[in-house]
Amino acid sequence: MAAKPRSIRIGRAHIQVLVYVTVCIAVFLLPSFIDNDFLLNRIARYLVLSILAMALALSWGYAGILNLGQALSFGLGSYCMAMALKLRTVPVHTGAEGLPDFMVWNNIETLPLFWQPFYSLTFAIIAGLLVPALCAAVLGWFMFRGRITGVYVAIITLAALVVGNLLIIDQQPYTGGFNGITDLAQLELFGFEFDAYSSSTYYLVASGLSISLLTALAITRSKTGLILQAIRDQENRVRFFGYDVAAYQNFAFSVSAAIAGLAGMLYTVVMEFASPTFLGVPLSLAVVIWVAVGGRQSLLGAMLGAILVAGMQGALSESETFLDTWTLIMGAMFVLVVLFLPKGLAGLVDIVRDRIAGARGRPVDDEESAGDGAAAKTAGAAQ
């Protein structure tokens, strides 16, 4: 009998991996049922946003770092891709001697030094991952070494986001300012052309989604993931065990930023432009909503939250009657979720499962979820 709970837990782990892989496969199979390039582009867009939400769930749900500046990483990734694609447009679009058009309008004579390496697409893609990750690592080093937690992390990341946004808008000659970077060339990788309105781009997004989701899953299931959750619940106890808490937090924070950067790059490919709104406060807070609605402690839940909320927003804001009331509904939904479903929609799954288990007369919880509940309580008190 003693071995039974253990076998259940292993079973659950297998089921989780199975569910995640199934979702990835389903995402890949979707285009065979959809014959509409416009719709496919729309879906690809929501999938990209769901990657962004998943990145936040990794740092917020698993490591307890409420990053209100998630959009900063997203925007940086997006701009890296946009810069490379801008330099690949036909010279007609890019002003004299291959200079991007907005630079010509701002009387810039030569290509700025930091734009030069973006002639190489490989460099741009690496930069799209590394620039956000490095920025996050520096900020994280700054915060976590000083044992900044909870609300102050939220404030600092929000401030960093606002600073980034202000600078990009202010440095118009180098970044395109308010207008962002538009008129981009199509992405070409390994001889494939990625037209935003074709299934090729969709598959690119689906690959990005699968890779980042499975990477994140691997992290959460590893020992590091366990320590991260322990830090979320009781930071000091982990510290007393001799773990370098700041290093673990910084790891989660930077990986999350890199994934957000990847999402940003994909977003540029899907939307065909980069704009300062990609690193705006509204988007950054919207991501927090998606994750809260979907379930901050479930990668898949966060993704579903993003697709549901952003998708509903997209669908409802098209019809006249809902255009105005949508925001109202979203606000109300958000308040209700925070009040009644602190674990989001993914928490519903747990509740239903426990109900079924309870109805069968079996002990409702095994060790794992009982520990979760208690841990969540102490975490709440500690914050």
Partner 1 sequence: MDIVLQQLITGLGIAAVLLLVALGLAIIYGTMGVINLAHGEFVMLGAYGAWVLNAYFGLGLLASLPLVFLGVAILGWLVEKGVIRHLYERPLDTILATWGIGVMLQQIVRLTAGGELRYVQMPAALGHSTTILGVDVSAYRVFIFLTVVVLFAVTWLLMYRTTLGMKLRAIVQDRSIANCFGINSGRVFGLTFAYGAGLAGLAGALVAPLKSVSPEMGTGYVVDAFFVVVLGGVQSLFGTVGSAFLLGELTGVIAYIRNDTIAKALVLLAIVVLIRFRPQGLFAVRVRS
Alpha carbons 258 and 253: distance in angstroms, whole number: 9
Residue given tokens 């076998």 in the structure block: 7
* Residue 312 is a binding residue for partner 1 (CB under 8 A): no
Amino acid at 283: L
Candidates 23, 104, 154, 316; binder of partner 1 (CB under 8 A) is 154
Amino acid at 293: V
The region of 251-259, 267-275, 327-335, 347-355 touching partner 1 under the rule CB under 8 A is 327-335
The interface mask with partner 1, positions 336-365, x = CB under 8 A, is --xx--x-----------------------
Angle 146-74-245 from CA coordinates, rounded to 5°: 25
Candidates 155, 211, 349, 364; binder of partner 1 (CB under 8 A) is 155
Alpha carbons 269 and 150: distance in angstroms, whole number: 35
Distance of closest approach, residue 201 Cβ to partner 1, in angstroms: 32
Candidates 332, 351, 352, 374; binder of partner 1 (CB under 8 A) is 332
* Residue 327 is a binding residue for partner 1 (CB under 8 A): yes
Alpha carbons 97 and 122: distance in angstroms, whole number: 23
Distance of closest approach, residue 346 Cβ to partner 1, in angstroms: 16
Integer CA distances (angstroms), 156 to 164, 257, 265, 284, in order: 12, 15, 24, 14
How many residues line the site for partner 1 (CB under 8 A)?
42
Amino acid at 319: S
Instruction: Report DSSP letters for 276-330, one per residue.
Output: GGGG-HHHHHHHHHHHHHH-TT-HHHHHHHHHHHHHHHHHHTTSHHHHHHHHHHH
* Residue 150 is a binding residue for partner 1 (CB under 8 A): yes
* Residue 288 is a binding residue for partner 1 (CB under 8 A): yes
* Residue 375 is a binding residue for partner 1 (CB under 8 A): no
The region of 48-56, 74-82, 216-224, 334-342 touching partner 1 under the rule CB under 8 A is 334-342
Alpha carbons 370 and 364: distance in angstroms, whole number: 9
Alpha carbons 109 and 124: distance in angstroms, whole number: 23
- Per CB under 8 A, which of residues 107..126 are in contact with partner 1? none
Q: How many CA atoms lie within 13 A of 241 on its CB side?
A: 10
The region of 70-78, 138-146, 190-198, 215-223 touching partner 1 under the rule CB under 8 A is 138-146
Residues that bind partner 1 (CB under 8 A): 66, 142-143, 146, 148, 150-152, 154-156, 158-160, 162-163, 166-167, 169-170, 281, 285, 288-289, 292, 324-325, 327-328, 330-335, 338-339, 342, 377, 380-381, 383
